[in-house]
């Protein structure tokens, strides 16, 4: 690894070959006797709505099963700043879309390759490498809008939803194997998929040309309605296509999973012309997020420091504030806290309320052992932004470092009433409750974390243990009992559907 080459953080948690073998075993258990042939895997009518073959509750269950396998196989970022930015951008596109309804879950995969994918129930993943490859916010928004359109039109779901003889966990595993076979290890995925009757399974997995054209059409409309440049979609795909020769391993994964032809680009350009160009400037958060990812992309902190020193010295950057922010992050990662503070100070004077800068300052204060200052500086900003995941988490972490775990827990409890689907928060809440001496609450929040990351049965056991704690306060006991009954009912429903208890099997 050369000194200037970005390095992928972490790696697949599970071999794709193992995942796909598990998929085959699951299919062997749940598919009706007899060979899997073209008749057994016929595609449903693409003109019919997905709700006609799978209820909304079944779609949500399928989404949970899909994400269980994604979490096992990919390194999903838990960084609140990076994830919150992508979720905010994605939700704005959903709100602007004529087609999209319901909940969407956007997440970032710590992978330097250029790719994004859409799963069932609104789960949309985007690789860190794609965010770094997007030179404008409209280019990033274009990919998200395209994936949102795949979800809203149920392109992937419909390929399997009509398989009545398959359980939801089996379909979820097959969908994950399909997506991950392309995003994690294309060769291993392709080889194993051949074991699922080759071309038949591939027909199920790949988006058709009509799917891609429909996602382009809807995505471009969404881009324009959200105020982004509609030319960004064909432009970004065309740029990646032309740059293929610079990739040692061939075309970027995004082009492998979403094949681009000259006709498709021409058609997308014609659609963009109906709206005309938009000169919407990039948000500062876009540039700060890219700088953050760049600082994290190097294997050693010194490499990141050298990178930002070089770009600042040569004036090679798209946004000066973001480049200095990236440099401060790199210095902090290298343990040079004083230099990082000095680099950050002028940025904070110009942008005193910018969440990324405020959070970094609090982290530097805490690392210097001055948690009280971090609490003091964050209190007002966090109070003015009660729904901000990054600010509220930073404030809670500072409170915990300052020896105030009960206040930290109360802070996060208020946040999850607004944003209940942020799984990493529940783990922090469990830690805060434990440090505050409330074992039952710690088990309650640990159960919530387990549930929201796909472990239903362990979550039920945690709640059962919580109810057995001595001197359990009545109102807390009542809340735990209600939640326990909800999870037990869901477990019964899963078993009725043939899905078992929902633990991390496979």
Q: What is the pLDDT of residue 210?
A: 83
Is the predicted pLDDT of residue 196 greater than 60, yes or no? no
Q: What is the pLDDT of residue 58?
A: 82
Lowest-confidence pick of 165-169, 270-274, 311-315: 165-169
Q: What is the pLDDT of residue 193?
A: 42
Q: Give the CA distances from residue 253 to residues 18, 130, 159, 186, 217, in Å, rounded to whole numbers and listed in that order.
A: 21, 10, 21, 8, 21
Per-residue pLDDT of 392-441, as tens digits, reads 999 999 999 999 999 999 999 999 999 999 999 999 999 999 999 999 99
Residue 416 corresponds to which tokens in the numbers above?
A: 């999850």
Please state, in angstroms and rounded to a whole number, the distance separating the CA atoms of residues 326 and 309: 10
Is the predicted pLDDT of residue 256 greater than 50, yes or no? yes
Is the predicted pLDDT of residue 139 greater than 90, yes or no? yes
Mean pLDDT of the chain: 84
The fraction of the chain above a pLDDT of 70, given in percent, is 78
Please state, in angstroms and rounded to a whole number, the distance separating the CA atoms of residues 244 and 252: 7
Please state, in angstroms and rounded to a whole number, the distance separating the CA atoms of residues 291 and 448: 33
Burial class (CB in 10 A: 0-12, 13-18, 19+), 274: exposed
Q: What is the pLDDT of residue 24?
A: 45
Is the predicted pLDDT of residue 140 greater than 80, yes or no? yes
Which residues pair with residue 105 across a beta bridge? 123
pLDDT band at residue 99, thresholds of 50, 70 and 90? confident
Find out whether 69 and 501 touch, Cβ atoms under 8 Å: no
Instruction: Give the pLDDT mean for 241-268.
Output: 77
Q: What's the pTM?
A: 0.85
pLDDT band at residue 32, thresholds of 50, 70 and 90? very low
Find out whether 182 and 113 touch, Cβ atoms under 8 Å: no
Find out whether 197 and 37 touch, Cβ atoms under 8 Å: yes
The fraction of the chain above a pLDDT of 90, given in percent, is 63
Q: Is the dihedral of CA 317, 320, 326, 331 positive or negative?
A: positive
pLDDT band at residue 160, thresholds of 50, 70 and 90? low
DSSP character string of 94-134: HHH-SS--S--EEEEE---S--EEE-GGGEEEEEHHHHHH-
Lowest-confidence pick of 113-117, 151-155, 442-446: 151-155
Q: What is the pLDDT of residue 299?
A: 95
Per-residue pLDDT of 449-479, as tens digits, reads 999 998 999 999 999 999 999 999 999 999 9
Residue 104 corresponds to which tokens in the numbers above?
A: 């969407």
Instruction: Give the pLDDT mean for 35-52.
Output: 38
Find out whether 399 and 408 touch, Cβ atoms under 8 Å: yes
Find out whether 328 and 343 touch, Cβ atoms under 8 Å: yes
Instruction: Give the pLDDT mean for 20-44.
Output: 38
Place of tokens 């689907």: 421
Q: What is the pLDDT of residue 259?
A: 81
pLDDT band at residue 8, thresholds of 50, 70 and 90? very low
Q: In sequence order, what are the residues at sequence separation of 6 or more whose Cβ sits closer than 8 angstroms to the Cβ of residue 381?
A: 353, 358, 391
Q: What is the pLDDT of residue 282?
A: 97
Instruction: Give the pLDDT mean for 201-218.
Output: 72
DSSP character string of 35-63: ---TTTTPPPPTTS-GGGTS-HHHHHHHH
């Amino acid at each position: 690894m050369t000194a200037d080459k970005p390095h992928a953080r972490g790696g697949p948690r599970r071999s794709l070959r193992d995942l796909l073998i598990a998929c085959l075993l699951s299919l062997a258990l749940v598919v009706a006797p007899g060979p899997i042939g073209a008749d057994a895997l016929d595609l449903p009518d693409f003109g019919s709505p997905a709700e006609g073959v799978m209820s909304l509750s079944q779609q949500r269950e399928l989404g949970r099963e899909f994400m269980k396998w994604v979490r096992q196989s990919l390194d999903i970022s838990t960084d609140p700043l990076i994830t919150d930015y992508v979720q905010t951008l994605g939700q704005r596109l959903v709100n602007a879309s004529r087609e999209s309804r319901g909940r969407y879950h956007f997440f970032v995969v710590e992978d330097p390759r250029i790719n994004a994918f859409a799963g069932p129930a609104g789960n949309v993943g985007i690789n860190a490498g794609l965010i770094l490859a997007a030179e404008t916010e409209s280019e990033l928004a274009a990919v998200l809008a395209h994936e949102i359109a795949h979800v809203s039109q149920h392109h992937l779901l419909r390929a399997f939803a009509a398989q009545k003889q398959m359980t939801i966990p089996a379909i979820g595993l097959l969908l994950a194997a399909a997506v991950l076979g392309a995003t994690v290890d294309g060769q291993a995925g392709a080889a194993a998929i051949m074991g699922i009757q080759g071309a038949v399974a591939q027909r199920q997995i790949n988006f058709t040309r009509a799917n891609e054209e429909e996602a382009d059409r809807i995505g471009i409309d969404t881009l324009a309605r959200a105020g982004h440049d509609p030319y960004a979609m064909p432009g970004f795909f065309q740029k990646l296509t032309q740059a293929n020769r610079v990739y040692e391993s061939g075309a970027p994964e995004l082009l492998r999973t979403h094949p681009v032809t000259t006709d498709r680009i021409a058609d997308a350009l014609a659609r963009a012309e109906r709206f005309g160009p938009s000169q919407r400037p990039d948000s500062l958060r876009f540039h700060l997020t890219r700088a953050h990812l760049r600082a994290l992309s190097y294997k050693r902190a010194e490499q990141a420091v050298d990178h930002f020193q070089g770009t600042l010295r040569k004036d090679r950057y798209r946004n000066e504030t973001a480049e200095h922010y990236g440099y401060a992050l790199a210095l902090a990662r290298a343990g040079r806290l004083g230099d990082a503070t000095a680099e950050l100070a002028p940025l904070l004077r110009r942008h005193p309320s910018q969440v990324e800068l405020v959070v970094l300052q609090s982290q530097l204060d805490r690392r210097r052992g001055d948690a009280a200052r971090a609490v003091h500086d964050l209190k007002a900003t966090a109070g003015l932004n009660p729904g901000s995941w990054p600010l509220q988490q930073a404030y809670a972490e500072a409170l915990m470092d300052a020896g105030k775990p009960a206040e930290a827990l109360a802070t996060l409890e208020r946040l999850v009433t607004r944003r209940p689907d942020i799984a990493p928060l529940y783990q922090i809440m469990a830690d805060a409750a434990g440090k505050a001496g409330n074992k039952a609450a710690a088990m309650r929040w640990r159960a919530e974390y387990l549930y929201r990351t796909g472990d239903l049965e362990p979550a039920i056991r945690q709640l059962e243990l919580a109810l057995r704690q001595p001197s359990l306060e009545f109102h807390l006991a009542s809340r735990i009992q209600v939640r326990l009954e909800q999870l037990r009912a869901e477990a019964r429903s899963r078993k009725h559907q043939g899905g078992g208890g929902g633990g991390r099997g496979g």
